[in-house]
Amino acid sequence: MSFLDKIGFTKLKEGLTKTKEDLFGKINRLVNARKKIDDDFINELEEIFLSSDLGYDTVETILNNIKERAKTDKYETDAELNGLIRDEIMKIFAVSTSAFKSFDFGLKKKPFVIMVVGVNGVGKTTSIGKLAYNFKKAGKSVLIGSADTFRAAANEQLEIWAKRAGVDIIQNPGTGDPASVAYDTVKAAVSRNTDVVIVDTAGRLHNKSHLMEELKKIKRVMQKVIADTPDEIFIVIDATTGQNGLNQVKEFSGALGGVTGIILTKLDGTAKGGIVVKINNEMKIPVRFIGVGEQIDDLQVFDSGDFVDALFGEK
Ligand code: GDP
Ligand code: GDP
Ligand code: MG
């Protein structure tokens, strides 16, 4: 069993209630009303998908595949039609989430260093608390680095999350030198033989180039301790921000020479859960985790199968 498999899927269904009611409520009504695949069916399905933030290219691919299959096979019952749609959404995911399956924090390296980036308010600090909690629960030792030294409150907030998760934190409030905190964190993790390091960073954007330089410096300085660190750079994106989220991925990824994964938060607060599919497919960067609430156990390892099953109410 991989390390990530041990992290449970408790609240996925609840967290996706809005998307489920909206997207799949509409699909069910469409299937009920139309009963067969004709132009009206396809047009209405297109509208439903687009309104859920699936993204134009993804929607066209799904619809073309559905039309293609409808040429050779009959889809007549509600179950057959629903099954066909579900199938094609699954296929779209399969393209870009396969790498996720082999992802394993446990074996790759020690300490395994994760740098977390993203703009203000998306849920970085909260997600770090949730990640730390889950890693600890899976039997790993965790050290959090408080490299958002810009606001004193940011440090206090991270400290509260570290306490909740029951893990240690390295901080140096008042330094104004986030790279130094990151350096100390990785150094401490090496000497304590810690399994996982998670480094929080600032996200203020009023001076973008300064923020990007600061993040680059954090990365560079951690590499003075371990040459090929960090192992992951996760960008946190708020699911309710739509296209903006995609632009953020581009910005941070460009500055940092790539990000390795996405933590998509606040899916519980939106009916536009289709953004997961869009981000996966357009950015070719896997969504690793999804946030489905504000509590410590409201973070899910993202699995496309579970996601689609939760939406279709099959689990
Ligand atoms: P940061 O500025 O990126 O560090 O963001 P924070 O971690 O401080 O989070 C900003 C706000 O978003 C807080 O009020 C969090 O409780 C909230 N938040 C974070 N993740 C989620 C989530 O998955 N669902 C919901 N509903 N709220 C979230
Ligand atoms: P340079 O700026 O690339 O020449 O490298 P420096 O050795 O001056 O270090 C740059 C940054 O790395 C500093 O601002 C610190 O943030 C961090 N750093 C380097 N060495 C240490 C150290 O021994 N302790 C701490 N806390 N930070 C360090
Ligand atoms: Mg924060």
Mean pLDDT throughout 229-253? Answer: 92
Mean pLDDT throughout 217-224? Answer: 98
Tell me which residue has its CA closest to atom 15 in ligand 2: 180
Q: Contact, 236 vs 124, CB < 8 A? A: yes
Q: Distance between CA 276 and CA 238 in Å, rounded?
A: 11
Percent of the chain with pLDDT over 70: 90
CB of 22 closer than 6 angstroms to any ligand 1 atom: no
Q: What is the mean pLDDT of the chain?
A: 86
Q: What is the DSSP letter of 315?
A: -
Type of residue at 68: E
- The CA-based angle 245-249-250, given to 5 degrees, is 115
Residue 123 has which token pair?
A: 């849920």
Residue 147 has pLDDT above 50, yes or no: yes
Tell me which residue has its CA closest to atom 6 in ligand 1: 123
Tell me which residue has its CA closest to atom 27 in ligand 2: 180
Q: Distance between CA 37 and CA 40 in Å, rounded?
A: 8
Q: Determine the pLDDT at residue 100.
A: 47
Q: Supply φ then ψ for residue 232, to 5 degrees.
A: -140, 140
CB of 261 closer than 6 angstroms to any ligand 1 atom: no
Mean pLDDT throughout 118-142? Answer: 93
Best residue among 238, 289, 294 to mutate for probing ligand 1's pocket (most ligand atoms within 8 Å of CB) is: 294
159-213 per-position pLDDT tens digit: 999 999 999 999 987 777 999 999 999 999 999 999 999 999 999 876 778 999 9
- Higher-pLDDT residue of 292 and 101 is 292
6-51 per-position pLDDT tens digit: 344 445 667 777 888 888 789 989 998 988 899 999 999 999 998 8
Per the confidence metrics, is the pTM higher than 0.85? yes
Q: Determine the pLDDT at residue 30.
A: 93
Q: Determine the pLDDT at residue 276.
A: 82
